[in-house]
A and B are shown apart, each in its own frame.
Chain A
Amino acid sequence: MPAIPRPFPDTASFAPANSVPGCAPDFAPMSARRLYIFGGIALIAAGLLFGDIFAVFILHQNAARQGEALIAASHAVAAGNAAAVNEAFSHLGNLLEDRGTKVDAHVHMIAAGYLALLLALVQPYIALSRQTKKSMASLFIAGGVLLPVGIFLIHYVGLAGSPFSAIGWASVLADSAGALLIVVLIVQAWGFWKYVRSRQLSEPELPGEDSMPRRALLTGGTILVLLGFLHGAYYAGTLLYEHERMETAILQRLINAATAGNLDAATTEVNNFGALAGARAVNIAAHSHIIEFGLLAMLLSFVQPFVFLSEKWKRRWVKLLLGGSVILPVFVLLELRLGLLAGGIADIGGLMVIVGLVGMLVGILRYSGGLDVTENDVAEADAAEGAR
């Protein structure tokens, strides 16, 4: 990737004597804003990658095993074998926990990343000391990593060695990490309250440049979120209650068919149940993903001044990210009609978003901090240079 001219020379002469060479104090390697931006984008990219791997290697296989477990349960009902029913449901519960914890780990990792980016944006309005802000950022990133890790481990750790009846150590880890995130948010709210009272910015605001990548991300993101809301409202208004009614009706027919010993009808109802679960899953996934990607695009529009790449490369990553943000939810919805082909295209959409994100992350890594240098910093740096 070609480098572009830097707004300030990437040398120590523009930084205060006690800061890292080439970096302004507010976007120095370990500043709160930088930690939030790095950590946030890394958490989102890791969460998306985990989701893509889950969708390709686990999701459909898990759904097929759920269907097999339900068929086994219906056969056990037909045979009047209550013990075998319990065994089938124990297996089904295990499969659901396996799937559910992985979906939750994916969702929470991405959500923590979004919150980290948000906190990066509001740092100028958090009237706390630099050290406190850095400590809070470190705690937040630690919580953002530990929360999904804890959720992921729930299925594997179970209740081993736990003194509680229903909560295992992995759940304790996840809940503690969640509490850590809440504490950081409360401290941020307190810092914001202090700013509202003092009206003193604690660091420079984000640059207000009006570039094409920034406008495209902001407008595209708002439209994606709006489309997601409209789809969600349509789903809730027309399908949600119908799907809920259908689920218990299908299960009732399944039990009746199994009790009557009609295993073919029972298998048909298991297939109907799977189709219904698929229809709900793709609608909810399309709704949540299009909104998440819209929000992500809006958030990324703010950090564009810190993406140290040429305009051409910035535009490429933006187009890739927005393209993937449309492809994934649209083809997730089309999975009901086109099957695995649409699923594969949706996964490629997810990969496009990940590549776009990583491209921007590389640009942020190359950022020198020039945009955060205030006039005072420059004057201090000049004075330090003169003294030397």
Chain B
Amino acid sequence: MTGSRKLLIFGGMTLAAFGMLYGLQYALFVEHQALDHMSGSLAQSFTAAARRNLGQSQVSLEQYGETKYDYVRQVDAHSHWIGLAMLMIVLGVIFERMNFSEGIRQLVAFSLLVGSALFPLAVILQTYHHGASVLKALAMVGSGLVIAALAAAAWGFARPRTMT
């Protein structure tokens, strides 16, 4: 088994297990509370408006927006880690069919691994620093690495086979 395949299969399995563990701890310790907080804030915003307390209504609506912002990103990071890990394992099994030298294949595999780990991590870090440009840029770099690696893989698969 070549180094690029090992990187993809072993990295993919590790990332999938990590993504699942992250999802499990989130579901056990955070998700239910976050959902309660989200629905509670929205309901409180309307209740406060019914009592004509518009200041409290505004505060509750902002809390709802912030909680939802975090919740969406936590769930997205969990699902993207696992999804990208699965893609890495699939590609790992067939990576020899990609008609590039092993050096280029290792570069593509490394890009995919770094991008797959970095992109969801940057998304999760945004929940601690809402709207931070650096983290948005990191997420873009991560997703860019994944897209570039996948485009290279598609090109490699489509090239006429010169090796047996």
Contacts and interface: CB of A to CB of B under 8 A. Distances in A.
A166 B89 contact: no
B154 A295 contact: no
Among B16, B140, B151, B153, find the residue whose CB has the most chain A CB atoms closer than 10 A: B16
Interface residues of B, number: 59
Contact of A218 (B13, B39, B94): B94
Interface in A182-211: 182, 185-186, 188-189, 192-193, 196, 199, 206
Contacts of A233: 140, 143-144, 147
B20 to A, nearest CB: 5
Nearest to A185: B17
B106 interface: no
Interface of B: 1, 6, 9-10, 13-14, 16-17, 20-21, 23-24, 27-28, 32-33, 36, 39, 42-43, 45-47, 49-52, 54, 57-58, 61-62, 64-65, 68-69, 72, 79, 82-83, 86-87, 89-90, 93-94, 97, 139-140, 143-144, 146-147, 150-151, 153-154, 157-158
A371 interface: no
Given A82-B47, A85-B43, A167-B32, A115 B52 contact: no
A29 B21 CA distance: 32
A263 interface: no
A345 interface: no
A229 B146 contact: yes
Given A89-B39, A248-B64, A255 B150 contact: no
Contacts of A229: 143, 146-147, 150
Interface stretch (A51-59, A73-81, A375-383): A73-81
A225 B116 CA distance: 14
Chain B at the A interface: mostly helix, strand, loop or mixed? helix
A248 B89 contact: no
A19 interface: no
Contacts of A299: 90
A222 B36 contact: no
A77 B24 contact: no
Chain A at the B interface: mostly helix, strand, loop or mixed? helix
Interface stretch (A60-68, A118-126, A326-334, A355-363): A118-126
B82 A111 contact: yes
Interface in A211-249: 218-219, 222-223, 225-226, 229-230, 232-233, 236-237, 244, 247-248
A252 interface: yes
Among B49, B65, B89, find the residue whose CB has the most chain A CB atoms closer than 10 A: B49
B109 to A, nearest CB: 15
Among B27, B36, B93, find the residue whose CB has the most chain A CB atoms closer than 10 A: B93
